[in-house]
Amino acid sequence: MVSNWSVGRDQACPDNGAVVSPTCSGIVQRPYAFASIFRQLHGHWGTGVLRDPSYGNATGGSAPAWSATAVYRIGQCVTYQDAKYCARWWTQGDVPNAGGVWAKS
């Protein structure tokens, strides 16, 4: 039985949970640690679950490259100039190394 679980919160918030958000958890964990349990069921992630494209990749879970045209929500991480940055709130077009919306992690 699974209760009180949300796929959107199956990843740690930036700054070890210092940010409160409905899209991440205050628990330090690997992204999608809980959802990966269900992957054992014939390799299916389940209806309505969108798999993070960087989950389980060969580079050890590095974030996808930043795109000026992409929309990022709180907690989403990107790679920019060989560094990883996570969005503190909704953003589009803000350069990660300029501070503000992005936190280097």
pLDDT for 71: 94
Residue 96 and residue 70 share a domain: yes
Residue 96 and residue 60 share a domain: yes
- Alpha-carbon distance of 7 to 30, in angstroms, equals 13
Residue 57 and residue 36 share a domain: no
DSSP assignment letter at 51: P
Residue 86 resides in a domain: yes
Residue range(s) defining the domain that contains residue 69? 53-104
pLDDT for 15: 72
Residue 81 resides in a domain: yes
Residue 57 and residue 37 share a domain: no
pLDDT along the chain (105 residues), means of 10: 57 69 71 65 58 48 84 92 90 87 90
- In total, how many domains does the chain have? 2
Residue 62 and residue 30 share a domain: no
- Alpha-carbon distance of 39 to 49, in angstroms, equals 11
Residue 47 resides in a domain: no
Model-level pTM?
0.43
